[in-house]
Amino acid sequence: MNEQLSRRLAFLGVLIVGLFAALFTRAWYLQVLTSEELVEKAFSNHVEIVVTQPTRGRILDRHGVVLADNIRTGVVTVNQSRYAPGQVDYVLEQLSELINLPIEVLRTRLLDQQTHPLAAKVVATGLDEYGLLRVSEQSLPGVEAKWAMSRVYPQNEIGAHVIGYVGAMSQGQEDRLLKKDYLPSERVGKSGIEQIFEADLHGYPGRTELEVDSTGRVHRIVNQTNPKPGSDVYLTIDADLQAATESYLRQGLIAARKTVSEDSGFFFPSIGGAAVVMDLRNGEVLAMASHPTYDPNWLVGGITTLEYQSVFENPYSPGALNNRAVQGLYSPGSVFKLVTALAGLEARLISPRAAYYDVGYFKIPEKYGCTGRCTFYNADKAPLGIVDLSSAITRSSDAYFYKVAHDLYWIRGEEQWAIQDMAQLLGFGNQTGVQLPFEKSGRVGDGQIKEALFGANPDAYNPYGESAQWLPGDNINTGIGQGFVSVTPIQLANAYAAFANGGTLFSPNIVKSVVSRTETQFGSSVIDFEPRIQRLAEFPEGSGIVREGLHGVSSKSRRGTAWRAFEGYDDAGYAIAGKTGTAQAEGRNPVLQRKKEDSAVFVAWAPRHDPRYVVAVVMEEAGFGGEAAAPVARRIFEALRAYEQRWPDPQVAFIAPRPECPEIPEALRGYEAFTSYVPEGCPWGIQVPRANSPEDVDGDGIPDVEERDQ
């Protein structure tokens, strides 16, 4: 028994020693003889990161109408990392027959360098459901037929300049975005909301870490993070009002092209324009139109150079990609007289009811030693007779405001620049801050600006070698919105909104909120854009007379410059207050090779005594503001009146101004000549009874019989 046990133990010991010897030998072999080979293999097994594109967020109007979305489109992808050498050719041959695409096209797409080498390559797009099923049934290795998301703009050209479009990355975008795990093949925002809210719309890409060998075959998934979809962006615009505004602007431009200019004898070119509609109670942009326009769907998949040139470089329809509402710089013309009037009141240079005899021109008095252009004319040199501040605005007396601007020039001290200061107070010369890219600042001329322009580009701004000093003529031109003044349509709307609401200058909002679409925060607001107040302006005493003048612009009885455009308009139910402008355009039309025609401008708010909305219309080379731009604004106001009935009450972010009541003797309060001058809100502002009538001897508006009964 002991001998048998000893033999077993001896055998076990030999076995153990043998195993250890084999293990030692193998270890020595691996560590010494084949160490270099194993190091090379270990190095060749590494981790690759594959980035998965997230679903882009949508863009919607204030009521949830989708303006930019993603649609399913059938795609076929091929993943080369799953193939043995030579297998890919067989797969492509089979796939070519299934989807009826040449094999050369499939090979070219498989060599696409814009996607990661280990990521599946898209070799076919635009397949319908039956096409996807046909590919899936074959179960080809490495081939996947699936639905993918593509950007689409369901409203087509409606709101195109606000929404923007997506396209291939520029070099600058690629350098910046690839560091944030963007795929080189991704379409990114190129303009509008698509660009400025790119980070919110894009979402967060998914990441998959794969362990692969030197041949590219995947061994295992090391780590995986799913993509997070981009957020939805809700705008402040109303899609229906936006469509109406664009339509009316386009129709107005077409109508202007059928009108002959009295100056040149040619038809107005009327090449483009812009319109802005704002809620002046909170600074929200309700519509923003720019013409010519385009369909952003054209640009999603890319277009050829010939297609681009035919659409976007058409000399008869220039600047289709530019948003003229924020990028277009125009001389405002007579709509700038609001600024000059307030500046004259602020400097106490204007007595609002003082009479001025308009003889059709203003001549700089000889005592000032004028040596250049000394006489400045009204439009058509028309004399308007006796006017005060109110009627000078209503009838657009250039001569009146020439004199105001001239007299301001000769005031020494800060008040010399009263026009420039008032313009800055109303937001001119600076960006409004609306959430759109490429906004221009415009300018309001002064001595420094004139000197800088003359020095930087004398051929354009000083071809005749004039003095760079700020002269009386420069201030006179500035006073009527010409010369060195340039503004954007949104600046005009914002300035008139501030005056109408009593002095609250907003930074306009065109975005209402950004809403999450992730699993954990779906539907919750990420960013809410509250009304943004830039400053609170205090207007000088007498500004009520300026309002009165603006109220009369659409009145036939007061011979307002826009009365024809508003003839038959429901002035009693939805009255407007505004100003026409006819701005001289400098230079020559490059296509027609003749002097540019005047541009038409109109800015107004409504209702007159309960200000809610402001509309600004600018039409390039379209003629008189009262004849071309005002009819467009009228139709927009009529649409506003209809659409606002379905809107909820907005957030009001200003204190409505108290009316400035004129001092009219009690005995004259009912006299017809004064009734149009009494603003609503004054004691006799709504229904003015005839003073000292038999039924109301004391003229207090209450019948004497009722007073006795009380």
What is the CATH classification number for the domain harbouring 496? Answer: 3.40.710.10
Span 132-142, average pLDDT: 83
* 503 and 491 within one domain: yes
Q: How far, in Å, CA of 259 to CA of 262, rounded? A: 9
Chain segment 566-584, per-residue pLDDT in tens = 999 988 888 999 999 999 8
Average pLDDT over residues 9-34: 66
Domain CATH code at residue 67: 3.90.1310.10
Contact present, 639 and 621 (Cβ < 8 Å): no
Instruction: Output the pLDDT for position 666.
Output: 57
> Is there a single domain that holds both residue 641 and residue 517?
yes
Spatial CB neighbours of 658, under 8 Å, sequence gap ≥ 6: 681
173: tokens are: 């975008």
Is residue 165 within 8 A of residue 153, CB to CB? The reply is yes
pLDDT of residue 31: 60
- Give the mean model confidence (pLDDT) for residues 147-161: 90
Average pLDDT over residues 528-547: 93
User: Is there a single domain that holds both residue 272 and residue 371?
Assistant: yes
Most confident of the ranges 302-316, 476-490, 652-666? 476-490
- pLDDT tens, residue by residue, 344-401: 999 999 998 999 999 999 999 988 888 878 999 998 899 999 999 999 999 999 999 9
In this prediction, residues 136-160 reach a mean pLDDT of 87
Give the DSSP H or E segment for 623: none
How far apart are alpha carbons 538 and 87 in whole angstroms?
Answer: 79
Domain endpoint, select from 624, 646, 668: 646
The residue out of 609, 626, 646 marking a domain boundary is 646
User: 248 and 214, same structural domain?
Assistant: no
Least confident stretch, 32-36, 339-343, 454-458, 584-588: 32-36
Q: How far is CA 117 from the centre of its chain?
A: 39
pLDDT of residue 35: 56
Across the chain, mean pLDDT equals: 84
Q: How far is CA 250 from CA 168, 273, 294, in A?
A: 30, 8, 13
- Same domain for 592 and 680? no
Q: Which domain holds residue 708?
A: 658-710
Tens-place pLDDT, residues 79-123: 876 666 677 788 888 888 888 888 887 887 777 554 556 567 777
253 in the same domain as 231: no
User: Which residues lie closer than 8 Å to 153 by C-beta, 6 or more apart?
Assistant: 67, 68, 69, 160, 163, 165, 295, 296, 297, 300
Give the pLDDT of residue 114: 47
Give the pLDDT band (50/70/90) at residue 685: very low
Does residue 2 lie within any of the structural domains? Answer: no
pLDDT of 495-527, one tens digit each? 999 999 999 999 999 999 999 988 888 888 899
**256 and 218 inside one domain:** no
Mean pLDDT confidence for 642-664: 74
Domain ends where: 646, 669, 684? 646
In a domain? residue 41: no
Note the pLDDT of residue 529. Answer: 94
110, 70 Cβ separation under 8 angstroms: no
Total domain count, the chain: 3
Residue 219 placed within a domain: yes
**Residue 485 falls within a domain, yes or no?**
yes
Mean pLDDT of 41-45: 56
Residue 254 CB coordination number (10 Å): 11
Please give the Cα distance from 691 to 412 (Å, whole number).
47
pLDDT of 656 reads: 63
| Within-domain flag for 437 | yes
| Biggest CA pair distance of the chain | 151
pLDDT digits (tens, 9 = 90+) for 594-632: 899 999 999 999 998 889 999 999 999 999 999 999 999
Q: Are residues 415 and 497 part of one domain?
A: yes
In a domain, 30, yes or no: no
Strands (E), 32-136: 46-52, 59-60, 66-78, 121-127
Among 513, 498, 544, 514, residue whose Cα is nearest residue 653? 498
For the stretch 159-203, pLDDT in tens is: 999 999 988 777 788 788 888 878 776 788 999 999 999 999 998
Q: Are residues 524 and 621 located together in one domain of the fold?
A: yes
Domain assignment present for residue 42? The answer is no
> pLDDT-derived band of residue 460, with 50, 70 and 90 as boundaries?
confident
Same domain assignment for residues 591 and 667: no
Sort 650 into a burial class: Cβ within 10 Å, 0-12 / 13-18 / 19+: middle
Residue 522 domain flag: yes
Shared domain check, 195 and 135: yes
Mean pLDDT for 417-423 is 95
- Pick the more confident residue, 111 or 641: 641
Tokens of 383: 């004399």
As a whole-number percent, the residues of the chain with pLDDT over 90 amount to 49
The predicted structure's pLDDT at residue 687: 40
Residue carrying structure tokens 């794969």: 210
| SS3 label, residue 534 | strand
Percent of residues, the chain, with pLDDT higher than 70: 84
Q: Where are the beta strands (DSSP E) in 491-587?
A: 504-507, 511-515, 525-528, 532-536, 577-583
The single-letter code of the amino acid at 687 is Q
Give the model's pLDDT for residue 709.
Answer: 57
Residues 193 and 220 in one domain: yes
Structure confidence at residue 242 (pLDDT):
96
Measure CA of the first residue to CA of the last residue in the chain; give whole Å. 139
pLDDT computed for residue 631 by the predictor: 96
pLDDT at 672: 58
With a CB cutoff of 8 Å and minimum separation 6, the contacts of 10 are none
